[in-house]
Amino acid sequence: MGWLEAAAILAAGFGAGMINVIVGSGTLISFPVLLLFGYPPVVANVSNTLGLVPGSLSGTIGYRRELQANGRLARMLVPASMAGGILGASLLFLLPAAAFELIVPVLIAVGIAMVLVGPLVQRNAARRAAGRTGPSGTPLWKTAVTLAGMFALGVYGGYFGAAQGILIVGLLSLLTVETLQSLNGVKNLLVMAVNLIAAVAFLVISPASIDWLVVALIAVGSALGGLVGARIGRRLPAPVLRGAIAAIGTVAIVYLLAT
């Protein structure tokens, strides 16, 4: 590996780590860079997933205050996300490499729509809750849908994971009444959990698909990027953060359709 390639992969890891923490979809920065340098898709995907774990960890630490406020929600969702991540990582070696290519832009568009309409849904839910005279609490159906949704997104994240964070924030915006910054903290933890369990699965299933130098470069870059991303993301007002999610998600859709 030449110094130019190493510098490009390190920079891609930094950008991916920063974008993942603020919005999500950082994979769409680092994964194409690896393909550009000639790494096979599975090697690029597996090595990228392992390398992004430190970025998710540093972002989770940066959002620890927001995460502590939603500890109960996070504890409920992590097992579902990790179970999905194991299945998704296994599917990577069973399904064709292009299995998700057609549906990924649609998924990102759905995620953007959920993020944008989330405040309206939350306000309506709050009004209904205020007018309710019975016992308060989260309905059982909503809990079941949330767990099923996180499992499904865990499968997607373990397989490919592009814009997984946008989809998580979008779904939780519809199904909870938490603030966008609070959901961002939960999102960072869930993405880290999925990437971590997928990394372990990759180590067991196909250690030969891992390029450890690539992993090291992306890990260093993403860890630094995650720290910077947390400092920036926590200072963004909710409307600006929502706009950033929509803008970056749209760029991701255009990129995927054009390639």
Q: How confident is the model at residue 170 (pLDDT cuts 50, 70, 90)?
A: confident
Residue 147 to residue 121: CA distance in whole angstroms: 19
Query: What is the Cα–Cα distance from 141 to 212, expressed in whole angstroms?
Result: 43
| Percentage of the chain exceeding pLDDT 70 | 86
> Which residue range(s) make up the domain with 126?
3-258
Q: Is the pLDDT of residue 137 over 80?
A: no
Q: Give burial (CB, 10 Å; 0-12/13-18/19+) of 201.
A: buried
Q: Is 167 exposed, middle or buried (0-12, 13-18, 19+ CB in 10 A)?
A: buried
Q: What is the pLDDT of residue 125?
A: 55
Task: Considering only residues 53 and 161, tell me which one the structure prediction assigns the higher pLDDT.
Answer: 53
> Residue 134: pLDDT above 70?
no
Kindly tell me if the per-residue pLDDT of 136 is higher than 60.
Answer: no
DSSP H helices in 37-132: 41-62, 64-69, 71-91, 104-131
- Tally of structural domains, the chain: 1
Per-residue model confidence (pLDDT) at position 218:
96
pLDDT tens for each residue of 103-120: 667 777 777 776 677 666
